[in-house]
Structure formats: structure tokens, C-alpha cells
Structure 1
Amino acid sequence: MNKLIQPRRAALAAILLLAGSPACASPHGWGKASGIVRDVLVGAALGVPAVQGDWQGDLQAAGSLVATGGTTYALKELIHERRPDGSDRKSFPSGHASIAFAAAGTLENRYGWQAGLPAFVLASFVGVARVEARRHHWYDAVAGAALGTGTAFAITRQRDSDVRLVPWADGGGGGLSLAARF
């Protein structure tokens, strides 16, 4: 079975889950959808390597998720940013976004852009949904995205790939650039 089939199935499953989710018109709907998509990404980050027998990839994915989660927790305890809905002072950074981007970064860094592109699209949805749910400010989601992606790229090693999506950021913005090896 082609190694790219599994990431495509994971992306298709995520899209089908989103299509079957309730409308996201209310903050509660956005919050629920962001949790579902985050969980799908974590499942893909851990499941794709397992299905392929890539136990090193599974360990790297788990390490990335644990390191991201721990760092996110520590930052929430150190930085007392009030959430937009006023519920508490643990807004910065977004844990949902950091974990979603750690999962996406792990998939991209380990398996290439074919797995990474749909995963980053879904992770971006999680960040937007957390803002729409009024659980985070936009900068909480951006910081979570940077933290998760950075941790994933620091811990996960590529399996093999000639084409890569590389995240970048500077004072004026950020994005993804396409890198190809010939």
C-alpha cells in the first residue's frame, strides 16, 4: 500500500467529521468543532506512523505533543492573560492551537507536504475556531501555532521527502514556503 494513502485517508476522515459537525454559528459550536479537529490531528499524528510500522515516527510524534503540551501549560501558569469570554486568566497561548500545530508539524516534517498540507489547513481551522469561540485572542492562537510547529520541527525528523512545506515568521507576518530538493 502506498505510504501516501494513509495521510490522505486521515485528511478525508477529518473533512467528513467537519462536514457532519453541527453548524458553528455559536461560540459553543466553534469550541466543539475545534476540539474535534484537534483530536483528529492528534490521532493522525500518532496513527499514521503506527499503521506504517514507523515506531520511531510514533515516538517523535508523542514527544512533540508532550513537549508542546508541557510548554503550553507552563506558559499559561506564568502569563495570566484573561480570556475574551472572561472565564479565567489562562488564555495565552492557545492549547488547542499548539497541540493541533504540533500534530500537523509532525506529520509534515516526518512524511512531507502530502500529509502536512491538509494537516496545516485543519490546524489553521483550530486556531480560527478558538478565536471565534471567544476562548482566545488572535495572538494566543498565533503563539500556539508557532509553539506547536516549532516543537514539532525541533523533535521530529523527516522520514524521506523531496518536497517540503517550511513555516516562517518575522515581525511583519508569517506563512509557509515550498522547498524542493532536486
Structure 2
Amino acid sequence: MDQDIYSADCSRCFGLCCTALSFERSAQFGHDKMAGQPCQYLQQDFRCRIHERLDDLGYGGCDAFDCLGAGPRASAAFAAENWQRDAAIARKLYARFSQLLKLQEMRQALDTAASLEIPAETHQHRMALLARVSAEADCSANEPTDTGQEVLTEGRAFLRSLANILANSPP
């Protein structure tokens, strides 16, 4: 598994996890934040003002979160857009980021499934799905794609089918 494709390189991101996502005050997050609103600690350069003290200040959830590279991908696709001043573009950015999160999670699950003892034809199906998911995750679309949604739906069905295959395989 190539870990670079899952790299959450925050230096190449618009702080999307700190803006696009929501969280509720809990043991993992020190305050409530609505989706689409920047965290109160997000600076203009998209860096966290309290990053070195996240755990001490009750933001362990921030430290634990991993976008698997979705943030840099979405940021690159919207680099030329004025998303900070145009709410419609920001909504597209956040929606694409959300889709990329799901695509990267699916990509990782399909990569991980390479180590399973499953029939060769199932591995071939897995590799074909992985290629499609990878193509969707690596494309520079600046809004969610219908084909991305389709491959996610197919990937979820495939992963469910793996559970049945593994449950019925000899020990």
C-alpha cells in the first residue's frame, strides 16, 4: 500500500477539516462548531493557533482526525477559485472534500483487502474497483461527481460481500 496517496499534508490544504466539518463540544472537542464555519483557532494561513497544545486544551479529536489526503486534493482542485468570498464555491469545495474523504476511506479499505484470502475473481473485482475509486479520488473535479457516488455505492456493496465470503470460508 502506497502511504503517500493517503498523506494528510496540511501544508497543502485550506484547513478543510477545521472549516468544512462540524463537531460538538465533548471530551474530544473543546467547543461546538458548525460545518462551513472556520474553527475559532484556524488562522488566516490555514494553520492551527493551538496545534502544539491540542490535547491539553481538550481538542484530541483534531489530533486524531486523518483526512487520508482528501484535504490537499480538494484544496488543489479549488486553488484558483475564490471560495473564501463566494459561498456557492465554498459549498462546492466542502461537498467535494466530503466526497473525497469517502473515496479515500474506500480506497484504503480496498487496498487493505489485498491481504485477505479471497477467490482470485474477487481480487480482480477488488482491483477494478480500486482503480475506479483511485481515478475518482485523483481527478481534479471541483465538485462532487456522480461517478464518484456510483463507485462508492458499488464499493460498499463489495465490502459487504467480502464479509459473506470470509464468513463462509474454511478456517
Indicate whether the TM-score tops 0.5.
no
Higher strand share: 1
TM-score, length-normalised on structure 2? 0.30
- Using CA pairs below 8 Å that are at least 6 residues apart, which structure has the higher relative contact order? 1
CA radius of gyration, larger in: 2
Higher helix share: 1
